[in-house]
Structure 1
Amino acid sequence: MFITFNQFLKKQYEKRCENAEVRAAYQQAGGFNEFKKNYVSGHHFAEYFETLRGMTLTALQTYHIAKMLVDHGGRKAAEIPGIISQTCRYYSIELPTVYGILTVEYWQERFEPKQAASV
């Protein structure tokens, strides 16, 4: 079953917060948003991608992954096709049949609309 990266992180956070002392420490340190920043810098996305192993994604699910890479991974739209392609090969993830989904232009239109229009 597909879950977004944010849903994945919320489950990780809630699991850790079952311990009252840990929950208090996380709340004092900035709560879920701070946990998210620290999680990404320490773990990146491998554990999340592991939950997607063997899945066949929809176009919307693929967009969620690309948005995660841009928002939390600091990636540019031009990098998305290569990252998605490598990730899908490594984790045996199937992409939807969508025209251009592994092209730079496809992702620029979604994440850099003004730049794509002027190119």
Structure 2
Amino acid sequence: MVRTASSIELGVALVMLAVGAATSCVLAVAWLTVYVGPVPAPFTILAAGVWSLFLVRVASAWSDRAMVAVFPALIWILTLVALNLGPGGDMPVPIGLRGLALLVVGGLIPLWVATLGRSLRPDAHRG
């Protein structure tokens, strides 16, 4: 169900979604290299994906516009890029399978779902 919102409500919602997406990305990166004994346990990849999909779903409930639906996923991806382009040449996201999986599951899949979900909705104008 899509709710009609005033521009102030939508603006506040987008700010809150951006904060949620950026915070999720930072936490996922911070805990990405966790080990349980000698075994890597990148559980944050799954958590980031679930949370990003949730944010995309919430954004879709605020507006019919596609840009609103993809906004949290774009903020998540931009935050991940910004973290790796930080000062001093530090790269907190390791280059490898875990880093790629984090990008795909946390950012690209929610972005794809937001755009695909828009195209799969039944058209109200068709009879």
TM-score calculated relative to the size of structure 1: 0.30
User: Which one scores higher on RCO, CA 8 angstroms, separation ≥ 6?
Assistant: 2
